[in-house]
Structure 1
Amino acid sequence: MNMKSSITKNSLRFLAAFVSVAGGCFNLLEAQRLSDTERDILTLQDLRSLGEGRLLSYLANSDANLRYRAAMACANLQDSISLPHLLRSLRDSTPKVREAAAFALGQLRHASSQDSILAVDSLIAGFRVENDPSVQARILEAMGRIGDEQALDAVTEFPDSLVGAVKAEQAMSIGRFALRGIKNERSMWFCFDLLGDQNPEVRWGALFALWRTAPHGLIDVEISKRRDDLVKLAADPSPDVRMNLVTLLGRSKSRDLVDVLRALERRERQKGDWRVQVQIVRSLAMLVLTNQDLAGDFLEYLNSENDHVKIASLVALAGLPRQTIQSSKDSTRVRQTLLRLADTKSPKAELVRGEAFVSLARIFPDDFNKKNFINEKDLSVREKTKVLEGLSLIPTAKSMVVVLRHLESDSIRIAMAAWDFIRRFLTPSTISRMRSGDPDLLEIRSMLYSKTLNSLKRGDMAITNLVANALGDTSFYGMLKTAGNEDSLISALSLSYDRLNSPDDNEAMQAVLVAMGRINDARFLPSLEKGLKDRDRSVADVAMASLRQITGKDTTAPVSTSSPPVHVDFDWETFESVKPGQTATLQTSKGTIRFQLLRDEAPFTVLSFVKLVKRRFFDGLSFHRVVPNFVVQGGDPRGDGWGGPGYAIRSEYSLQKYDRGSFGVASSGKDTEGCQFFITHLPTP
């Protein structure tokens, strides 16, 4: 789901803010009424139903708007049965219907190879006679999603006279092919030639396609051949161009890439853009592995005034081999900087400090241990979770015991972190020693058992998910079983499943069902049979697989062949009260965010959002997740990424793109959207 937003400069820089939402006035007197047919199309879309052919018949309706809506509904159904009807719509007299048909063809799933060939051939033929730029762009997008290598060749053969937006989509299409592992030298040369285009969207689209195609020897050769041109491109006025250029450098082994990187760094020192600097840091992390002289470059970014840049630098450092930094000539200065950042105590520095803990533990573990951060008074919850992460990077018995003691922390988030990180200590050799009754580890094994049992009894879905994942590791469960703890663990895992409910707990339910199958004990059969009848098909499918593991029998019959939505809401009165151009406003501690509700593009997502706003559901919530150069995410009543509104809605697919500042609803998989939302930092193809 996508909404357009207008974002103040500061709102993208904050790390956590409390939110109140005002959705504006929803005036029933000004409502735009839907016809009965429009309601029927939207209903079929949400139910994922062809309506015994009604939806397909609407593709031939005399009203172009209804044909368009029907094609978009087919895009959301993704049912290959609609293929021949969509191919006819690709020749519709109305451009927006042809655009929707092309989009729907790109969304088809589970089509046979013959149907896929037919769809791609029709898209190619359609492009060659198409004059509307919007339709041309959508055909290129669809080809990138479902085409083969012959289709990739066709994309590069289309005429050079395409308008800028279509040419940009031509480059993006090549990137989509590359994402599916379809690439060739011809498409790489084509993208390099696009770097001289006057349209910045074409230039950054070509760079996007190239770094999606990399690593590749031809790309390395071309970077060397075109070094001077790329050095000039490093000064491109478009930050999107510069970001994608430096991302490409990070995936290359060209001997000349450092010259281009230095040109980019000079440009950013003169007129820096934090988004480009974040990408420079991420590329440095890949390049320093083969060029230790670049290690000192991190210092500049660790000392940045922008927290996004600092955090990205710290995360990049934490992912490097310890020896890479310790053996560099700048090791001492990096160490001093990490110590300073780890010692900086301030609510505003909380996120930076947390990542500094992890980097320090990773690269300079002795310094981390000497600081004894875990016993520091007034550590915030977030800081303590990062200390635990740091300890998990130091594989000693002392570190393991500290993390172990936090498995039952009063704070759900700290307990979650401890369960996340305890498994790093449980190497095959450690588990083997525990199973054999090693006296040095008997107390730790006993603690693990009691904390596993108590954590399952706690009844928190996120912790249950993490514990179930641990028990699903048969070596972990086997270690506890050898201590005679089998019966109590079987009982606790069964009871934990009984406390979970769809849809908010689906991920935990699936983790428990998977663990049951791997443990392979017949006492789980009642729970698995219950899961087999769950209304959510994803839960039932996992239960079916686990039942098969235990019984060796095919249990397909009881599972519903369709997946009816767990939540439907056809409140047309509220939906129709959302006016065209309706906006909503988020008031945060760092500024105001205004965004437009795209009712026609994401009807049921907008309806759900509006009704949550009316309940004041979002008031006082925080942005719990910030990923530089990706998204900020909020709307979670738990504040840890696991919360929901008590229901899940269908995923909705539309023609709207995720540009910088787009507002969308987060999901953990198809048809799992709820209340959590995100705002993009960058265009996200």
Structure 2
Amino acid sequence: MRRSHSVRALSACAVTFSLLTGCVRHVPPVETPPLDAQTLARIQDWEDSRSLGDGELVSLAGRASDAWVRARSLRALARIQDPATLETVLAGLKDAEADVRGEAAFAAGEMALSWEPLLEAELTSLEAVLLEAERSESDVDVRRTLLDSLGRLGTPGAVTRLAERMRDGDGALAGRSAQALGVAARVRGAAVAAQVPLASAEALLAAERPVDARRGGAYLLSTVKRPQALAALRRCLGDEDADVRALCAKGFGDVGGPEDAVVLGRLLEDPSPRVASEAARSLAKLAASCSAPCTAVDALDALSVRAKRVARGMAPPEAAGDAKTTVETLARSAEGHPLLALAQQGLPDFGRPVFESLRLALADAERGAASDVARADLAWLDCRLAAAMDRQVGTLKEVLDCGYGHIPEPRRLALGLREVALSKGKGGAGFAVKYLRNPDARVKLTALEVVAARPVPEAAAAVRPLIEGEDTVVAGAAAATAGQLKDAEALAAVEALAARVPQTPGDLAEPVAGALVALQGRAAEPRLREWLEHPHANVRRVAAQALSELTGQRVRSTRVPQSAYTFRPQAAPARAGLVFRTDKGNITVRLDVDEAPLTSGNLHALARKGYFNGVTFHRVVPDFVAQGGDPRGDGEGGPGYSIRCEMTRRPYLRGTVGMALAGKDTGGSQFFFTHAPQPHLDGRYTAFGEVVSGMDVVDALLEGDVIREVRAVELAP
């Protein structure tokens, strides 16, 4: 994801030591051992600088007399992700203390998920030890973590074991195994999906099963993309749990047929907009696989009713007379999510009348809208649908005059160009060349996306000057586009930009590496090998990946301590929270200052400076995330520095707050709220808080909604 709860305790540390230890919330035993604060501080320092402390950190993880120190050291190794420490991590799975084994199990999963993949021999070793540990583990919490790690590993042996555990009589463990198999299928692809025993997954969907088991089964069936799962998916569309219904509706998009359009059409009226959004998205996918006339398209006509409800009787939350009115107001705003999901997914050409019908319904609603909030929602949804229509034809037309005059031109152009870049077989991008000279960076950036996707020689002359511009995001995209165009005349500018990578690694490393490989070939190898020693982990990862592609041999970077790159904000208070004020209401977040002190402290400090005031939620994907915190508004911005990842054991549930990334240790100011559980994000993106009130506001957010203010507050225990 561009800028993607603790299970066991790390220690019984006092709040005073939370920044030093990075520990998780824990109810201390009656006899709490004294903490060695100096040792814990050293561990935090090593973690921050991505150092092994000349072997001391590894030694503490394996041989410290204090179990809390061993556990904290293993957490640091999980975050550093150095393959050289794999043996120590695996040894921790045999520790006498369950808390230590739990941390070792988590660290093993993080190794499996490493941004720079493990070698085949390392994966084999990891599989063997994890399987042995899972077979003999008696602690339920540790066993759950081991199942999660097997899912992240996704090797044949891991998949076989998880399939066995799905038949376990314990519904919770069976559901957890199914979820882990779903993650493996997402990470490893069709080879894993083909091995899943569908009968075991279907059995988890029985009404008498616990909700966690049903969710695990639905998650797996929606992920494997096998037609044999259709019968079970049809049955679980009536589940009482919205998350289960949404997952089952999602599964139809990849394996359903025209005969499923009727039942999915009925789900467009589901009381949960998240379920309706998945139904709309699946209907759009089914439409793409059929020829006109298509029942999947016909079913989407039902969305026009939702379009009218977005605005009917709507009043701003601050003007609401009572709590019931406010809830109804937000529910009407959330009605827009199925329309947004449809626009994001797109329809084939013969589905154009559906977009036209929906836009007419929105225009009708806009004329009678009762508030500025409603008008803004309707205007943006109109432009979203207009952009989807422009994607159908491969050029800008509808977005040039969408939004009833409420959406500024740069925003309309950027939206339309980004959608048009997704067009397939729609001719060249000559029309987009003029937008490369637009003064707005968002427009230039999306015009580059069009040119890169549909290269035309006449674009090269307009792309070259952008490589030398001050905006590093645009410069990087221009370099990548020059590579796509095979423009040899751009090489000098690309090389000059490459010299800036050490100072701006987050924005430039990946696009510049791609451009160098495209324009220089093997001549780019010396510079890329220099990058293997860069202090920033993401630069090293990009260089290793580029060199592997360039040479045809697996290249791995080395770990580089980054003391000069250390960033540590002031610790947030023990009960720190943030209140996000929007025009649709307030969202209150509790920060996890114990387990993610760096990430929490960073967002807390930015909020106190007023950094987020006026920034938008630039990305909303229904039933997935609402993402904000980018001052640029295009998903490419940040505070001018990067923070290190703090992978935690907090799962991504509904309302979890996570840090968006563009690679390892590239966090900054972009955060996201999850609409529903997202197991594939667990352990990959730092989870550092939860929404404690205002989840209905999160559900009602649309792209462009403004964060008026973020206040730092102290929450009750």
User: Do the structures match in fold with TM over 0.5?
Assistant: yes
Change (3 A) 1:528 1:283: closer
SS at match of 2:192: coil
Please name the residue that 1:664 is paired with: 658
**Could you say if the C-alpha distance between residues 509 and 90 of structure 1 is closer, same or farther in structure 2, counting changes exceeding 3 Å?**
closer
Distance 2:103 2:283 in 1: 41
Could you tell me how far apart the structure 2 residues matched to 1:150 and 1:566 are?
Answer: 39
Residue identity matched to 1:45: E
Match of 1:48 in 2: 50
2:199 is aligned with 1:189: yes
The verdict on how the C-alpha distance between 1:546 and 1:651 changes in structure 2, with shifts beyond 3 A counting, is closer
Aligned to 2:158: 151
Determine if contact 2:379/2:404 at 8 Å carries over to the other structure: no
Aligned residues of 1:416 and 1:463 also touching (Cα < 8 A): yes
Given the superposition, is the C-alpha separation of residues 364 and 513 from structure 1 closer, same or farther in structure 2, using an over 3 Å criterion? closer
- Counterpart for residue 20 of structure 1: none
Gap change, CA 1:38 and 1:157, over 3 Å in 2: same
Cα distance between partner residues in 1 of 2:362 and 2:424: 20
Check whether the contact 2:451–2:481 (CA below 8 A) recurs between aligned residues. no
The Cα shift of 1:667 comes to 0.5
What does residue range 282-293 of structure 1 map to in structure 2 within 5 Å? 282-288=281-287, 289-290=289-290, 292-293=294-295
Write the distance in 1 (CA, Å) between the matches of 2:604 and 2:74.
25
- Secondary structure (helix, strand or coil) at the match of 1:90 reads helix
> In structure 2, what is the equivalent of residue 21 of structure 1?
none
Matches of 1:163 and 1:372, distance apart in 2: 57
Q: Deviations over 1:553-588 (max 9, x none)?
A: x9x9xx98433337644759x33x632x43232223
Structure 1 residue 95 displacement after superposition = 2.3
1:36 to 32, 38, 42: 38
Per the alignment, residue 673 of structure 1 pairs with: 667
Given candidates 185, 193, 199, the residue that maps to 1:178 is 185
User: Secondary structure at the residue paired with 1:596?
Assistant: strand
1:248-268 CA-to-partner distances (Å, cap 9, x unmatched) read: 222224787457546x62xx6
1:297 Cα deviation from its structure 2 partner? 1.4
CA deviation string 1:327-355 (max 9, x = no partner): xxxx4x65343456589695332321221
Write the distance in 2 (CA, Å) between the matches of 1:94 and 1:463. 51
1:350 to 1:49, Cα distance in 2 relative to 1, 3 A: same
Question: Residue 663 of structure 1 aligns to a residue in which SS?
Answer: strand
Distance 2:166 2:394 in 1: 58
Counterpart contact for 2:165–2:174, Cα < 8 Å: no
Alignment of 1:70 with 2:73, yes or no, is: yes
Q: What SS does structure 2 have at the residue aligned with 1:649?
A: coil
What is the one-letter code of the residue matched to 1:518? A
Residue in 2 aligned with 1:252? 255
Rg (Cα) greater in structure: 1
Equivalent residue, structure 1, for 2:275: 276
> Match for 2:358 among 328, 337, 340?
337
Q: Deviation per CA, 1:28-52: give whole Å up to 9, x if none.
A: 9898876011111222222333223
Relative to structure 1, is the Cα distance of residues 234 and 570 closer, same or farther in structure 2, using a 3 angstrom cutoff?
closer
Q: CA deviation at 1:312?
A: 1.2
Alignment match, 2:695: none
Tell me whether 1:214 sits opposite 2:216 in the alignment. no
Q: 2:385 aligns with which of 356, 367, 382?
A: 356
Which residue of structure 1 lines up, in the alignment, with residue 442 of structure 2? Answer: 413
Please give the secondary structure, in 2, of the residue aligned with 1:108. Answer: helix
1:370 to partner: Cα distance: 8.7
Q: What is the one-letter code of the residue matched to 1:514? A: G
CA pair 66-201 structure 1, distance change in 2 beyond 3 A: same
Secondary structure at 1:619's aligned position in 2? coil
Q: Which moved more, 1:672-681 or 1:66-75?
A: 66-75
* d(CA) in 2 for partners of 1:158, 1:524: 48
Partners of 1:453 and 1:680 in 2: CA distance? 39
Q: Secondary structure at the match of 2:632?
A: coil
Number of matched pairs: 605
Report 1:71-220 matches (<5 A): 71-109=74-112, 113=120, 115-158=122-165, 163-179=170-186, 180=188, 181-184=191-194, 187-196=197-206, 197-216=208-227, 218-220=228-230
Q: Show the counterpart of 2:519.
A: 519
The reply to whether residue 602 of structure 1 matches residue 629 of structure 2 is: no
Instruction: Pick closer, same or farther for the CA change 1:342–1:364 going to 2, 3 Å.
Output: farther
| Of 294, 297, 302, the match for 2:296 | 294
Per-residue CA deviation, residues 298-331 of structure 1 (Å, 9 max, x unaligned), is 1222441322111112223x3x3314x36xxxx4
Q: Which residue of 1 aligns with 2:330?
A: none
**TM-aligned CA deviation for residue 92 of structure 1:** 2.9
**Corresponding residue for residue 641 of structure 2:** 647
Residues 1:373 and 2:387 are matched in the alignment: no
Q: Which residue identity does 2:506 align to in structure 1?
A: N
Aligned-partner Cα distance in 2 for 1:545–1:247: 33
**Residue 449 of structure 1, CA deviation:** 5.2
Asked if the contact 2:237/2:248 (under 8 Å) is kept, the reply is yes
Q: 1:173 to 1:526 in 2, by over 3 A?
A: closer
Alpha-carbon separation, structure 2, partners of 1:562 and 1:529:
14
Asked if 1 retains the 8 angstrom alpha-carbon contact of 2:606 and 2:612, the reply is yes
What CA distance in whole angstroms lies between the structure 2 residues aligned with 1:246 and 1:653?
31
Q: Whole-Å Cα distance in 2 between the matches of residues 84 and 549 of structure 1?
A: 29
Q: CA deviation at 1:419?
A: 2.2
Q: What's the offset of the Cα at 1:677?
A: 0.9
Question: Is it true that 1:627 corresponds to 2:621 in the alignment?
Answer: yes
Go from structure 1 to structure 2 and tell me whether the alpha carbon gap of 1:28 and 1:126 turns closer, same or farther (over 3 Å shift): closer
Q: Does 1:466 align with 2:487?
A: no
Deviations 1:440-493 (A, max 9, x none): xxxxx3xx4553344234321121122112210244x16xxxxxxx3xx45544
Task: Report the CA distance shift for 1:497/1:534 in structure 2 as closer, same or farther (over 3 A).
Answer: same
Supply the distance in 1 between the matched residues of 2:19 and 2:534 (Cα, whole angstroms).
Answer: 38
Q: Tell me which amino acid in the other structure corresponds to 2:659.
A: V
Structure 2: how far apart are the matches of 1:582 and 1:77? 26
Return closer, same or farther for 1:376/1:37 CA change in 2, 3 Å cut-off: same
* 1:339-395 superposed Cα distances (whole Å, 9 cap, x missing partner): 5658969533232122121233345789x8599639997751322323445777699
Amino acid at match of 2:202: F
Which stretches in structure 1 are left out of the alignment for 5+ residues? 5-26, 432-444, 479-485
Q: Distance in 1 between matches of 2:511 and 2:618?
A: 23
Question: Using the alignment, how far apart are the partners of 2:545 and 2:184 within structure 1?
Answer: 33
Take 1:660 and 1:614, find their aligned partners in 2: how far apart are those partners? 26
Q: Which letter maps to 1:42?
A: Q
Cα distance per residue 1:508-562 (max 9 Å; x no partner):
3442343244333999999889868754354467679989999x9x9x9xx9843
Greater CA drift, 535-544 or 588-597: 535-544
Give the Cα separation in 1 of the matches to 2:357 and 2:259: 31
Q: Which amino acid aligns with 2:158?
A: A
**Amino acid in structure 2 at the alignment position of 1:512:** V
Alpha-carbon distance in structure 2 between the residues aligned to 1:629 and 1:648: 28
- Farther off after superposition, 275-284 or 413-422: 413-422
Q: Is this contact kept in 2: 1:636–1:642, CA < 8 A?
A: yes
In structure 2, do the counterparts of structure 1 residues 54 and 334 end up closer, same or farther at CA, with 3 Å as the change threshold? Answer: closer
Asked whether the 8 Å contact 1:214–1:251 carries over to 2, the reply is yes
Q: 1:37 to 1:529 in 2, by over 3 A?
A: closer
Q: 2:676 aligns with which of 658, 682, 685?
A: 682
Distance 1:129 1:664 in 2: 33
State the structure with bigger RCO (CA 8 A, min sep 6), 1 or 2: 1
Counterparts of 1:537 and 1:87, CA distance in 2: 23
Provide the C-alpha distance between the structure 2 equivalents of 1:394 and 1:149, rounded to a whole number of angstroms: 36
Query: TM-score, normalised to structure 1's length?
Result: 0.77
